[in-house]
Amino acid sequence: MEPPQLGLIEQSFNSRYSNWAREALDELPDNFTITDPCISGHPIVFASRGFLKMSGYSRDQVVGRNGRMFQGPNTCRRSVMEIREAIREERGVEISLLNYRKDGTPFWMLFRMTPVFGKDEGRVIHFVAVQVPILRRRQRRRNGEGLCGEILSNSCRREVCSSSSVELAGVSAADSDCRVTALEIEEKCEASDTEKQLAATAIRNVLSVLTHYSESTGRLVCEKRFGPSFVSSSLHISLGRIKQSFVLVDPHLPDIPIVYASDAFLRMTGYARNEVLGQNCRFLTGVDTDPSALHQIKQSIQAQQACSVRILHYRKDKSSFWNLLHISPVRNATGKIAYFVGVQIEEGSVDRHGLSPEMRQLSVVGSIKVAVRISSP
Amino acid sequence: MMLRIKRVPTVVSNYQKDEGEDAARRGGGCGRNCLQKCCIPGAKLPLYTFKRAEEIPGDKCVLEHDDNQAPVAFLDSLLLGQWEDRMQRGLFRYDVTACETKVIPGRCGFMAQLNEGRHLKKRPTEFRVDKVLQPFDGNKFNFTKVGQEEVLFQFDASEDGEVHFFPDAPVDADSSPSVVAINVSPIEYGHVLLIPRILECLPQRIDRESFLLALYMAIEAGNPYFRLGYNSLGAFATINHLHFQAYYLAVPFPIEKAPTRKVTTLGDGVKISELFDYPVRGLVFEGGNTLQDLSNAVSDACIFLQDNNIPHNVLIADCGKRIFLLPQQALGEVSSELLDTQVNPAVWEISGHMVLKRKKDYEEASEENAWRLLAEVSLSEERFEEVKALIFEACSYTLSEKEDEHLTQGAGDDKPPLEGTGSINKGRNCNMVSGTQECLVLQ
């Protein structure tokens, strides 16, 4: 999977927080990452120095990648699922997780994640995730061979360190405390109260920097959702997986506006996202667009049916193209129509898998139906 | 005395009729474009060939798109597109997305769907359900009788280690193709049937090769919300022709969220846990040094169950990384109250997704009711402990056999030695016992 363009990553951060934000975040001793669920692939857009040290990667190797890169064969799948669902439901989660460093060594850490909402949009802008390495402590063991010594020394070390929280937070990859033997990986590792406190403090630190530095850009962020949102961020994440050009329109709102537009749509038409959201699709039509094609679209929407039309559309730069457009109703959990999807294919484009344009469009419709099916109004 | 159950069967194909009406009675080519000898020659279907695990370098099958955040995998895309196509052509008996669905309040998060059109409104057919293994009966409905338009594509391993897609490949009877077909009474969007080696007309029973195929499908689709399920005869399978079901639901199933307790790790790296705090007792298989190890562990467990007439269901979840095995009580012992509701606890229901045909049941659906319904078919604690022990014995004996083969084949064997085994010795069972703390002590 190719990582999203760095431009988008930079934009994610810079449009929200002033330049000083990066410096302030870099001054925090905590291990944390900031991710953007609205960029396809839900990539990391910022990784703290502490995080990079803990994981053994450089900034370039991490920014633009998804958090799963730190998971490995012994990472508990159920825990991964819990995190995935928290993201989808736009809420926080705190869970112990086994991660892997660049050199392949596994380590347990307390993973705590919280959403950051945009005040204007009312939807999740970023997720902040904090990672506190869990130090080994005395474990209940029936098989006493060979582990007691290691465990005792670990817990001794921990007692010494517990007074100094900064040192714990800044645990480096070189510390053998966190390294896990083959047997230990099997045991689920619970975090201590101290470690949980560290996580809570770290989250507070990061959030206060973000909130503070968002004020100067005027695009405030906050910890709680504020006001209604058009398309939830969980739907954003599902829709972001679809690489083709499409839009979702809401037939229940006045003038049937676009409530979601894929990146491919924006590339095809030359518009920016904020220029199309909230607008009716008619901005794509122009002087030579056949009115009967428009009529057919309108009728299908009224009849709540799917249709395919070949229609002349115009890009932002006024150039025209033949659009093989497919429109279909999409229902949500109530069983009623929530949106209509419009999938655009530029006539003459070729699919690398040999799928016909029709089949490509239908697969987009299918993926969207699966995503919207379980969402409630 | 033979046990029979009066159930209302689900129509999975538009060509499924009462077992009394036999299409074979019509002489010659049937003209229905089916998958039998009459129509197969010259037939063409799309073909998707997947890469086998050995050809994937590094750790087994850690694909980039095994997540709900990565780009849609091609197989996923193909299946959904084909399904939507059949939807628009009117091949389904109803639009499942128009059926209201909800999460039942409670801590498990059972899902309920109000689907009034799913079950037939006609005289129920009788089906013998006290035997898990029954021979294939060509007179009854089977999947070679479906129309080709109900088949979405052929699905097989590639010859050259690369993924390929052929939009229009001839159906070669000699190569014993496996196919993916639609279920015309879908439980959810994308509900399909995977029919391994369809022309061989295998009865509904697990074998290693077929199970591995199902696992590959879960991996290739790369979507944690696409799961495969299997019902043995006696555990509410309706058609005695080997098939797996699959569909999409973009939320976790209650069974996937249920806590588990690790029980043991087999010598080949397969980790087995058991469910607790869940209405149905079952095992979860994960890990394995290779994909085949995981697949074989589950298959062998199923083969043991079917050979011992224990009905069971299997759920392949998390892109093939977690597999749930749930043995069921023999049906004769299930209460008549349960049978009356006509909610048959097959794999999807047991996983936590209930399809209800009556509005009243849907409105009154509660976690308590759902729990009670499922608990009915679970094995009792004692019986489950017995069956669990026997399953481990079956898995470990197979392991010993494999190692004996390994020893006698000698040099030149292309299979790498099992990792972490230390010295290979006859007493393989012992190794499994001492591996972890909470395992069973076998005699």
Tell me the C-alpha distance between A249 and A327, whole Å. Answer: 10
The yes-or-no verdict on residue B277 having pLDDT over 90 is: yes
Question: Which pLDDT does position B39 carry in this prediction?
Answer: 86
pLDDT tens digits along B157-188: 998 888 888 888 999 888 899 999 999 999 99
pTM: 0.79
Instruction: Give the closest residue to B68 by CA, choosing from A237, A185, A211.
Output: A237
Mean pLDDT of chain B: 80
Residue of A1, A362, A373 with shortest CB distance to B81: A362
Are B96 and B115 in contact, with CB atoms under 8 Å apart?
yes
- Angle of helix B208-221 versus helix B74-88 axis, rounded to 10: 90
Residue identified by tokens 């925090």 is A28
Q: What span, in angstroms and rounded, lies between the C-alpha atoms of A112 and A90?
A: 14
Classify the C-alpha dihedral A326-A327-A333-A338 as positive or negative: positive
Average predicted confidence (pLDDT) for chain A = 82
Q: For residue range A10-33, list pLDDT tens digits in order.
A: 888 877 787 788 889 999 999 999
How far is Cα A111 from Cα A276, in angstroms, rounded to an integer?
37
The mean pLDDT value for A336-365 works out to 89
Q: Residue B326: helix, strand or coil by DSSP?
A: strand
Contact B250/A at CB under 8 A: yes
Structure-model confidence comparison of residues B430 and B110, the more confident one: B110
Mean pLDDT, rounded, for A31-55 = 92
The pLDDT assigned to B412 comes to 40
Cα gap B299→A300, rounded to integer Å: 49
The pLDDT value recorded for residue B99 is 95
Is pLDDT of A186 > 80? no
pLDDT 10s digits, A89-113 = 888 999 999 999 999 999 999 999 9
- Pick from B82, B88, B102: which is nearest to A333 by CB? B102
Q: Which of B198, B299, B210, B209 is nearest to B239 (CA)?
A: B198
pLDDT tier at A374, thresholds 50, 70, 90: confident
Q: What is the least distance, in Å, from the CA of A82 to any CA of chain B?
A: 8
- CB interface of B with A, residues 269-288, below 8 Å: 286-287
Residues of B in contact with A238 (CB under 8 A): 68, 250
Give the closest-approach CA distance of B309 to chain A in angstroms. Answer: 31
Q: What integer pLDDT is reported at residue B393 of this predicted model?
A: 86
Q: What is the value of ipTM here, to two decimals?
A: 0.81
Catalytically active residues of B are 243
Do B100 and A334 make contact, defined as CB atoms within 8 angstroms? yes
A243 contacts in chain B (CB < 8 Å): 71-72
Contact A370 B74 (CB under 8 A): no
What confidence category does residue A350 fall into, taking pLDDT thresholds of 50, 70 and 90? confident
**Which structure tokens are listed for B182?**
């639609």
- The closest of B279, B88, B95, B104 to B189, measured between CA atoms, is B95
Mean pLDDT of B205-214: 97
Selected residue with higher pLDDT from B230 and A122: B230
Least confident of A11-20, A42-51, B356-365: A11-20
Residue A324 has pLDDT above 90, yes or no: yes
Smallest Cα distance from A364 to chain B, Å: 7
Structural element, H or E, at residue B294:
helix B291-307
Comparing A116-125, B130-139, B356-365, which segment has the lowest mean pLDDT?
Answer: A116-125
Q: A116-125, B27-36, B79-88 — which is least confidently predicted?
A: B27-36
What CA–CA distance (Å, rounded) separates B329 from B254?
21
Give the B window 312-331 contacts with A, CB below 8 Å.
318, 321-322
- Residue B56, pLDDT above cutoff 60: no
Query: Which tokens sit at A333?
Result: 């959990």
Q: How far apart are CA A207 and CA B437, in angstroms?
A: 43
pLDDT value at residue B441: 27
Which candidate in A82, A365, A374 is best for mutational testing of the B interface (most B CBs within 10 A)?
A374
3-state class (DSSP) for residue B416: coil
Is residue A181 scored above 60 in pLDDT? no
Can you tell me the distance from the alpha carbon of B259 to that of B263, in angstroms, rounded to the nearest whole number?
A: 13
Q: Under a CB-based contact definition with an 8 Å cutoff, are residues B254 and B282 in contact?
A: no
What is the spatial distance between Cα B99 and Cα B93, in angstroms, rounded to a whole number? 12
Residue whose C-alpha is closest to residue A301's, from A322, A273, A280: A280
b (16+ CB within 10 A) / e for B316-340: bbbbbbbbbbbbbbbbeebeeebee
Residue A232 confidence (pLDDT): 75
CB contact under 8 A, B88 and A306: yes
Helical H segments across A216-255, by residue range: 233-240
Q: Is the pLDDT of residue A357 over 70?
A: yes
DSSP per-residue letters across A194-245: HHHHHHHHHHHHHHHHHHHHHHTTT--EESS--S--SS-HHHHHHHHT--S-
| pLDDT of A4 | 59
Nearest-by-Cβ selection for A242 from B72, B225, B250: B72
Encode burial over A98-113: b for 16+ CB neighbours within 10 A, e otherwise.
Answer: bbbbeeeebbbbbbbb
Instruction: Quickly state the pLDDT bin for B31 (edges 50, 70, 90).
Output: confident
pLDDT at A212: 84
- Pick from A91, A116, A120, A121: which is nearest to A35 by CA? A116
| pLDDT tens-digit readout, B14-24 | 888 644 444 44
Looking at chain A, the whole-number percentage of residues with pLDDT higher than 70 is 79
B92 and B86 Cβ atoms separated by less than 8 Å: yes
Above 70 in pLDDT, residue B423?
no
Mean pLDDT, rounded, for A138-154: 38
- Closest residue on chain A to B61 (Cα): A73
For the stretch B290-322, pLDDT in tens is 999 999 999 999 999 999 999 999 999 999 999
Pick B65's closest partner by Cβ from A1, A182, A360: A1
Q: What pLDDT score does A223 carry? A: 64
